[in-house]
Structure 1
Amino acid sequence: MEAMSAEGDREQQLLAAAEDLIREGRTLNLSLGEVADRVGVSRSLLYVYFDGVPAIIDALFLRHLNRLAGRILPELETRDTTYRECASAAYAAYLDYLIESGPILQLILRERHQDSPLGPESQRQFRGLLRRIAEETRRALSLTPREAFVLLELTAGIPEALARLVRKREIDHDTAHATCRRLVSASVDGFADAPPD
C-alpha cells in the first residue's frame, strides 16, 4: 500500500514541478529534463509516469479542469436564485480559482494546438463543461447557442484580468470581487435586455 502511495506522491511531484515551470515561463515550452531536474530524479524515471511532455500537459489540464468544474458548477446549479446571481457566484468562484491557481488552464488552452494537443478525455470533458455552462446561459437568457458562447467568452475575460491584478498585488481581493460582480452582472443584464434580431 505504501508503494502505491509513494508512486502517487512521485507523480504529483512531477506534475507540481511541471506546473511551476509553466507558471514561471508562462509557456508550455518545457522539457522532460527540466521537470526531472526540478524534482531531482532521472529523466528516464519520468517515462514511468508520462510518455512525454504532452502527457504531462494533458494531466495538468484535467487536474485543473476538474478543480474548476468543482467550483463553478455548484454555483450554476443553485435553483433558488436568479441566473444573474448564479452567474455572479460562478464567476466569483472562477476568480478565486485563478487567484489561487494562476493561469495554467489559459496557457494550456492558448498553446494546445502547437506541440501539446489535449488528449481525447481532456477534450471531451472541456467541451462538456463548456456546453453545460452555455446551455444554462442560453436557457436562462433566451439566447441562441452562439450568443451564449459569445457571452461566456466575453465575461470570462473579467475574472481573468482581475486575477492577474490581484496576483500582481495591484488590487486587493475585495476590490476584485466587487468589480467582477458588477461587470458580470452588467454583462448578463445587457444580454438579457438585448432585443432579438
Structure 2
Amino acid sequence: MAVRSHMQQITGMTTCGSYEKYLGLPPIVGRSRYNTFKSLKERVWMKVNSWKNNFLSQAGKEILLKAVIQAIPTYSMSVFRLPRRLCKEIPAVMARFWWGHRQNDRRIQWRSWFKMGDSKKRGGLGFRDLESFNKAMLVKQCWRILNNPSSLVAKVMKEKYFKEDRFLEARLGYAPSLIWRSLWYSISLVKESLRWRVGDGS
C-alpha cells in the first residue's frame, strides 16, 4: 500500500479497484461464457427500451437497429466466440422492437428474423446473422495472423500455442484461453476458403 501511494504521488494517477473490463472486454472469462457476455444483451435491451417506438418509421427502426444495435457486440465478436444462446437472444430483442413490442407485449411476428436477414433483393432487410458474423470476424483475425506473422499478437500466439508449427497446423493445446479457443475454432474456416494462385513469386 505504501509503494502504491508513493507511485500515485509521483505520477498523479488514480488506482482502479475494479477490473471487470479492460478496453471494453472482460479480462477474465469464467466457466459460464453466457454470464460473462450477458452485459451485451443488457446494453441492447437498454438501448431499445430508451427509444420511442411510436414515433419511429420502419425505415428509422431499420437504421437504428443496423447502425446502433448491431454495432454493440461487434468489438467483442472480433476477439471472442460468443455463446450461441446469446447470438439468438440479441436478435430476439431486435425482432420485438421491430414488430412494435414492449416488455410485456405479445404481438404477431409476421416474418421470421432469419428471413429478415436475407438481402433486400430476396425480400429481406439485410439484418446480420450474429453467429455467422461472429465467425466472419474471427476468421478475419486469423487471416491477419496468417498475413502478418511479425505483428505482436501473432508473435504472442505463436510463442504460446504453435511454437514449432505453422498457424494453420496449430493445436488447441492444454488449458487454452478463450481468445485462442475462439481463433482455433475459426482456422478450419480459413482452410476451407484458401486458394492457391499461380504467380511470378512476388
TM-score (norm 1): 0.36
Which structure would you say has the larger Rg?
A: 2
TM-score (norm 2): 0.35
- Say which structure is richer in helix: 1
